[in-house]
Chains A and B, each alone.
Chain A
Amino acid sequence: MIDRSLFTLPKVGMVMGILLVLALAEAACVLGEAYALARAITNLWEGGVLADQAVLVAVFAACFIGKQVLVYGRDTFLARFSRQRASELRDELLKRVFSAQRGVVAEHGSAAVTQAALDGIEQAETYLGLILPKIIGVVAIPLPILIAVFIYDWVSGIILLVFFPVIIFFMIVLGRQASARAAAQYESYNALSNHFIDTLRGIDTLKVFGRAKSFGARIFQSSEDFRYATVETLKTATLSGAVLDLVATLGVAGVSLMLGFRLIDGIMTLFPALATLVLSPEYFKPIREFAGDFHASLDGKNALKSITAIIANDAKEIAPVDVEPWDESSKLRLDNIAYSYPVLESDKPAAGEDGGATLSRRALEDVSFRVQGYTKVGIVGLSGSGKSTLANLIGGFARPDEGTIGVAGTRTASLQQPSWQRQLLYIPQNPYLFHASLRDNIRFYSPDADDEAMAEAISVTGLDDLVKQLPDGLDTVIGEGGRGLSGGQAQRIALARALLDPSRKVLIFDEPTAHLDIETELELKERMLPLMEGKLVFFATHRLHWLANMDYILVLEDGRVAEQGTLDDLLARNGKLVELVATMNRGDVA
């Protein structure tokens, strides 16, 4: 019921201590309030004069307001604490996301990471601010009240004492059941909501098939069905709160009845009875508040858990090595490399290369090759043959499960090395464009590029037309939410980035033109080829025309290198490549 991970937070012991002191002070206020109120009423009841009660009324008012002052101080203090914890968590999380050992985004998906870093952290912060005082409240406040009640009237003390474990019992038993139901209800609510969104997203498909109009009734019907189901679930899900409430109010009612009977019998007097009556609801208040916030804090608890999981996840670090700058004589060799995608739920690129049913399959197996200097290496194969995976491993986006790599005189298990990543540029099918000006996008890899270099890069990659078209030229904001660009234009920007940073001697292309219309592809090819001179190039593609421009070719089949060599060699050998080309051009599945 109480989240143990809370107690492992830094400085939490000190915070708990302060909260405990504040809670005890709050309990003191409650006692003072009850005393003053009960005493003043008793005095009046016994025929006292109002004016004589001034001091007691003042004490009552002071205690009543004092309680809130303590809450004010406590919340201010806690806000600072939870804010600090939250921003530490957030920094830690983002540091993982933006680190060279870039597993986090690939593994959890960018949406989940963004969600965790903003909403998640916020929920966790709220959670800390909410749950800590509630826990301490349950621990610290009822006991002094109980002691006071025992002093006023031991019978009531026993009633309250007995009710406490009953409440705890109900809270645990029903709470467990209720939280399962609440979770189920939450899930079905989400399912409905997602179903609704799903329908809205596919609304044009429905329209195309002439289903859209009548579908509204379906939506309404399913929404209504869910209403019944949800309210049914709520009946039990909210029961624990109701029972808790019932026990607490019955406790108060029981105490007051018992007091009444013994007053009639003359066993006790009005003052202790009133004081006890005022104290009884206060006795149950902390536990009711704890239970009430319990569900509200579930989100925060889960958020905290998933953030901690993301941070902790990045367990094994690869020892960083210093990769020398690549030059004409540098050598790269991969020996017996193997790689399998982790089985994961969402956010892998769905369509295209390695999506689909191939996810859990071993993506690469026993891949070995060596290259030297400024070679252009073509990687060909069908969908699912492992082209993209190999390009990713070479680019250091993922680390191989097996095998060794020798790079520029250094040996390592993975190319997730900042010293290697800083030497390369990776150009995927859809280069990412930031929500920023065209200028900042182009010079992303070399923010200090001057106008002259920019102009050069723009004209070489054929971006001039775009710059002319855009309302604010280079200052036009593009990317998500900005001006949409075509796939060909995005590729040109990626090329311009490469051009602006000639110090990066390694270029990795992953199917950069397959989705473009053929004329754009032809034009881009002409601009790309000169860029590849004097570079180590890896070019994964199923577009055969590129092969003629490559120095060396790796033919992949089912995650293995089926054949490697120069184009002439491979054509002469009449092996796998020839077979592949024939199949592609003949256009049948064989």
Chain B
Amino acid sequence: MRNDASMRDVATTAAPQSGEQTKDTWVRPYFNRYRKHLGQALALGVLTFVCAAMLMFCAGYLISRCAERPEGGIFVVLVPVAFVQIFGMGKPIVRYIERLVSHDWVFRMTSDLRLRLYTALERSAMTLRRSHQTGDFLGLIAEDIGHLQNLYLRTIFPTVIGWILLALVCVFYGVFDILFALAMLVVLGLVVFALPLVSLLRNRERIEREKTLKNELYADLADNVIGSGDWVYSGREDEYLEHAKRADAAMHDESSALSSYYRANDLVATVILGVGAVAVFVWAATYFGGAGLPRADWIAAFVLGFFPLVEVFMPLTAAATQVNVYRDSTKRLNDYPTIDDDDLGLDPETFDTVSAVRFAIDDLMSQSDETTPSAPTIPAFEQRAADSDSETPTDIPPSAPVSVSHVSFGYGDGRLVLDDVSLDVAAGEKVAILGRSGSGKSTLASLIRGDLTPAQGDVRIAGKDVGAYGNGICHWIGVVQQSAYLFNRTLRDNLRIGRIDATDEEIWTALEAVELSDMVSKLPKGLDTMVDEEGMRFSGGERHRIALARVLLAKVPVILLDEPTVGLDPITESALISTLFSIAADKTLLMITHHLQDIERFNRVVFIEDGKVILDGSPAYLNETSERFRSLRAFDLGLTV
């Protein structure tokens, strides 16, 4: 990911603002979902520490009892001996299972979250790019899910386990002495509730500040590292280094303030727990002492059993404080539209069948060694026609007319990007659309595809309003974007996006048509080549050809290209256009372009300026009638020999 922190700012501002109190749809609902597994994970977590405490408790009792040299010898202490063994074995084993179960639960939740997020984003896919400018935002929000995993594993689980354990300990003490139990609840409650809460609140702003500073520093550094050449060439690099050092120091002040808070907090917690230990000692001495043996055997048990609890209670402050770190992530996710379970198209039952039974101990033991887990692979796009958003209609003609009539459109800032534009393209016609950046030509493309709806006028393909096609529009119009997106998957998968059930034969035919078949057949892995595999990159021209092959596989009657040749040299560009014309011979073709290379091949050239069509005609006609066209054409040619 290129520069994720600089995007954090963008993301905070870009996420839909839906008021201060958004309903939490990403964290709490998961307590209910898969409740059974969550319960298991927590129970095992508690059990781990119960075992640890009971090991010392029993061991303390055991040796005190043994020291009495009881009559029956070893047989008198058989029960404590057994307990020592059980708890000694139990703690590590339970802990091990607990880790697996809790991770399983968190991953289960993650699958669900991913789907939920995907579904939320899918609805606004076409406008997302415009509103967030860059795909990095998407990476950021995907990372939030990773943060949520940490929130569960590092904060929520340990904290809840700490609470349950405190309750158990106090109930246990209460069995003997209710007043002592209450006193311990107060003392330990300071460490379990009060310190974490105080830290959570007191460090909230500090963590906010640190995060802000860090994001700024990240954005600043990323920006200036990319521009480092300019700093060096301008001879001002020391200026920047000095600045970076100051910014870093400022951020570090905050983070070291937090660490010293933690250190002081741990000291306070230790003093409190020390008081607790002394209290247990004094209580046990009073309660069991003075009455002679064997009652006094319990003193050691209670005192020694207390110490393992320290390990549970001490980390709770840091865990709670971390909530502040994840606030952004949860907020960002909560700002996304809620997706009902019904919309996810999942049957919850099917996903609950895999239960924690998988982690039964014998299962663990049987595969603990030398089972190499099969390397997880990214699943292929399956060959299922049902994967399409809508049924493929059977009666799609090879080409279709596109009609734009009296269309006006603005982005809501009062300015019309397109002002009463009309354009009738006959079936099979090849049209080049030219204009400066900002002239409205890309907006026109979005309107034609139905991603935007005109404020006035209408756009029709094959006589039907594009809005009426809904998702079915993809069977009518294929798009090649300026930078064709290739997924980090195999070439076959990338091409099958065009048509999910395409056979290899059809894929090779398409590659043949876009003149890539020679190149691909020379690749060691052929169609199975990963698109971005190390050392194997496709050049700009090749990527466009792959995108063309996709569109070809989709068998659409209308192809729309949005500046597909930017950055290509004239010969590569010309070759690409040749290919385009040969594969789209019987299709309607609309190409947005920025210069006039091969313009003669088009039936028609349209110039858009300030949201209006200012020139429209065949290249030959424009060459005769328009001085502007002639001079641009001459300029574009550059030299003639």
The interface residues of chain A, by DSSP majority, are classed as: helix
Q: How far is the CA of A215 from the CA of B392 in the complex (A)?
A: 17
> Known: A98-B231, A245-B92. Contact between A211 and B500, CB under 8 A?
yes
The interface residues of chain B, by DSSP majority, are classed as: helix
Provide the residues of chain A in CB contact with B346, threshold 8 Å: 217, 220
Provide the residues of chain A in CB contact with B434, threshold 8 Å: 517-518
Residues 83-133 of B at the A interface (beta carbon under 8 Å): 84-85, 87-89, 91-93, 95-96, 99-100, 103-104, 107-108, 110-112, 114-115, 118-119, 121-122, 125-126, 128-129, 133
Cross-chain contact B248 with A111 (CB below 8 angstroms):
no
Cross-chain contact A421 with B139 (CB below 8 angstroms):
no
Provide the residues of chain B in CB contact with A224, threshold 8 Å: 108, 111, 351
Cross-chain contact A94 with B281 (CB below 8 angstroms):
no
CB-contact partner of B103 in A211, A230, A359, under 8 A: A230
| Residue with the greatest number of chain A CB neighbours at <10 A, chosen from B107, B143, B436, B574 | B107
Cross-chain contact B497 with A209 (CB below 8 angstroms):
yes
CB-contact partner of B639 in A205, A266, A547, under 8 A: A547
Q: Using an 8 Å CB-CB cutoff, how does the interface string of B348-391 with A read, 1 for contact, 0 for none?
A: 00010010001100001001110101111011011000111110
Provide the residues of chain B in CB contact with A245, threshold 8 Å: 91-92, 95-96
Q: Closest B residue to A251 by CB, please name it.
A: B88
Report the minimal beta-carbon distance from B468 to chain A, rounded to whole angstroms: 15
Cross-chain contact B281 with A40 (CB below 8 angstroms):
yes
Q: Is A143 an interface residue (CB 8 A)?
A: no
Q: Is A390 an interface residue (CB 8 A)?
A: no
Provide the residues of chain B in CB contact with A278, threshold 8 Å: 304
Provide the residues of chain B in CB contact with A114, threshold 8 Å: 3, 218, 221-222, 225
Cross-chain contact A479 with B388 (CB below 8 angstroms):
no
Q: Using an 8 Å CB-CB cutoff, how does the interface string of B533-562 with A read, 1 for contact, 0 for none?
A: 011011111110000001000100000000
Q: How far is the CA of A121 from the CA of B82 in the complex (A)?
A: 50
Cross-chain contact B389 with A235 (CB below 8 angstroms):
no
Cross-chain contact A102 with B351 (CB below 8 angstroms):
no
Q: Using an 8 Å CB-CB cutoff, how does the interface string of A8-48 with B read, 1 for contact, 0 for none?
A: 00000000000000000000000000000100110011011
Q: Is B142 an interface residue (CB 8 A)?
A: yes
| Residue with the greatest number of chain A CB neighbours at <10 A, chosen from B64, B308, B388, B483 | B64
Q: Closest A residue to B369 by CB, please name it.
A: A236
> Known: A238-B96, A242-B92, A426-B233. Contact between A220 and B373, CB under 8 A?
no
Q: Using an 8 Å CB-CB cutoff, how does the interface string of A221-263 with B read, 1 for contact, 0 for none?
A: 1111111111111111011011101100110110011011101
Report the minimal beta-carbon distance from B572 to chain A, rounded to whole angstroms: 6
Q: Is A474 an interface residue (CB 8 A)?
A: no
> Known: A198-B488, A221-B379, A236-B368. Contact between A518 and B566, CB under 8 A?
no
Cross-chain contact B122 with A203 (CB below 8 angstroms):
yes
Cross-chain contact B382 with A216 (CB below 8 angstroms):
no
Q: How far is the CA of A571 from the CA of B640 in the complex (A)?
A: 10
Q: Is A585 an interface residue (CB 8 A)?
A: yes
Cross-chain contact A118 with B217 (CB below 8 angstroms):
yes
Report the minimal beta-carbon distance from B89 to chain A, rounded to whole angstroms: 7
Q: Is B160 an interface residue (CB 8 A)?
A: no
Report the minimal beta-carbon distance from B593 to chain A, rounded to whole angstroms: 9
Residues 179-222 of B at the A interface (beta carbon under 8 Å): 214, 217-222
Provide the residues of chain A in CB contact with B52, threshold 8 Å: 249
Q: How far is the CA of A97 from the CA of B222 in the complex (A)?
A: 12
Q: How far is the CA of A351 from the CA of B282 in the complex (A)?
A: 76
Cross-chain contact A212 with B122 (CB below 8 angstroms):
yes
CB-contact partner of A517 in B84, B436, B541, under 8 A: B436
Report the minimal beta-carbon distance from A247 to chain B, rounded to whole angstroms: 8
Q: Is A308 an interface residue (CB 8 A)?
A: no
Cross-chain contact B537 with A227 (CB below 8 angstroms):
no
Q: Using an 8 Å CB-CB cutoff, how does the interface string of A161-202 with B read, 1 for contact, 0 for none?
A: 000000000000000000000001000100111111111111
Residues of chain A at interface, number, CB under 8 A? 174
Q: Closest B residue to A571 by CB, please name it.
A: B641
CB-contact partner of A208 in B236, B472, B474, under 8 A: B474
Report the minimal beta-carbon distance from B100 to chain A, rounded to whole angstroms: 6
Cross-chain contact A44 with B285 (CB below 8 angstroms):
yes
Cross-chain contact A432 with B389 (CB below 8 angstroms):
no
Residues 80-135 of A at the B interface (beta carbon under 8 Å): 83, 87, 90-91, 94-95, 97-100, 102, 105, 110-111, 113-114, 117-118
CB-contact partner of B376 in A50, A90, A200, A225, under 8 A: A225
Report the minimal beta-carbon distance from B356 to chain A, rounded to whole angstroms: 10
Cross-chain contact A518 with B214 (CB below 8 angstroms):
no
Cross-chain contact B77 with A517 (CB below 8 angstroms):
no
Q: Closest B residue to A41 by CB, please name it.
A: B300
Cross-chain contact B92 with A249 (CB below 8 angstroms):
yes
Provide the residues of chain B in CB contact with A582, threshold 8 Å: 641
Q: Is A270 an interface residue (CB 8 A)?
A: yes
Q: Is A502 an interface residue (CB 8 A)?
A: no
Q: How far is the CA of A585 from the CA of B436 in the complex (A)?
A: 23
Q: Is B344 an interface residue (CB 8 A)?
A: yes
Q: How far is the CA of A216 from the CA of B219 in the complex (A)?
A: 32
Report the minimal beta-carbon distance from A321 to chain B, rounded to whole angstroms: 17
Q: How far is the CA of A370 from the CA of B263 in the complex (A)?
A: 67
Cross-chain contact A201 with B285 (CB below 8 angstroms):
no
Cross-chain contact A269 with B378 (CB below 8 angstroms):
no
Provide the residues of chain A in CB contact with B167, threshold 8 Å: none
Cross-chain contact B487 with A207 (CB below 8 angstroms):
no
Cross-chain contact B77 with A435 (CB below 8 angstroms):
no
Q: Is A159 an interface residue (CB 8 A)?
A: no
Q: How far is the CA of A229 from the CA of B374 in the complex (A)?
A: 7
Cross-chain contact A587 with B69 (CB below 8 angstroms):
no
Cross-chain contact A211 with B63 (CB below 8 angstroms):
no
Q: Is B479 an interface residue (CB 8 A)?
A: yes
Provide the residues of chain A in CB contact with B9, threshold 8 Å: 481
Q: Is B74 an interface residue (CB 8 A)?
A: yes
Q: Is B452 an interface residue (CB 8 A)?
A: no
Q: How far is the CA of A280 from the CA of B286 in the complex (A)?
A: 27
Q: Is B138 an interface residue (CB 8 A)?
A: yes
Among the 9-residue stretches A299-307, A482-490, A558-566, the one with 4 or more Cβ atoms under 8 Å from chain B is: A482-490
Provide the residues of chain B in CB contact with A359, threshold 8 Å: 535, 537
Q: Closest B residue to A105 by CB, please name it.
A: B228
Cross-chain contact B382 with A218 (CB below 8 angstroms):
yes
Q: Is A1 an interface residue (CB 8 A)?
A: no
Q: Is A531 an interface residue (CB 8 A)?
A: no
Provide the residues of chain B in CB contact with A199, threshold 8 Å: 118, 487
Provide the residues of chain A in CB contact with B60, threshold 8 Å: 274, 277
Cross-chain contact B135 with A201 (CB below 8 angstroms):
yes
CB-contact partner of A98 in B114, B125, B228, B381, under 8 A: B228
Cross-chain contact B571 with A583 (CB below 8 angstroms):
yes
Cross-chain contact B62 with A256 (CB below 8 angstroms):
yes
| Residue with the greatest number of chain B CB neighbours at <10 A, chosen from A191, A252, A479, A546 | A252
Among the 9-residue stretches A56-64, A332-340, A453-461, the one with 4 or more Cβ atoms under 8 Å from chain B is: A56-64
Q: Is B335 an interface residue (CB 8 A)?
A: no
> Known: A65-B271, A105-B225. Contact between A260 and B62, CB under 8 A?
yes
Q: How far is the CA of A444 from the CA of B236 in the complex (A)?
A: 9
CB-contact partner of B232 in A57, A204, A236, A421, under 8 A: A421
Q: Closest A residue to B595 by CB, please name it.
A: A518
Q: Is A519 an interface residue (CB 8 A)?
A: yes
| Residue with the greatest number of chain A CB neighbours at <10 A, chosen from B129, B382, B389, B475 | B389
> Known: A118-B217, A520-B437, A545-B635. Contact between A253 and B55, CB under 8 A?
yes
Q: List 17 A-B contacts (CB under 8 A).
A: A41-B299, A44-B296, A68-B270, A206-B125, A208-B449, A214-B387, A236-B369, A246-B92, A249-B55, A249-B91, A263-B69, A264-B77, A278-B304, A351-B483, A445-B233, A517-B436, A587-B597
- The 6 A-B pairs with the shortest beta carbon distances in the complex, nearest first, are A544-B638, A356-B539, A253-B88, A210-B474, A545-B638, A245-B92
Given contact pairs A235-B368, A264-B74, enumerate 10 new A-B contacts (beta carbons under 8 Å).
Answer: A61-B274, A75-B259, A87-B245, A98-B228, A203-B118, A207-B126, A218-B381, A277-B304, A426-B229, A515-B567
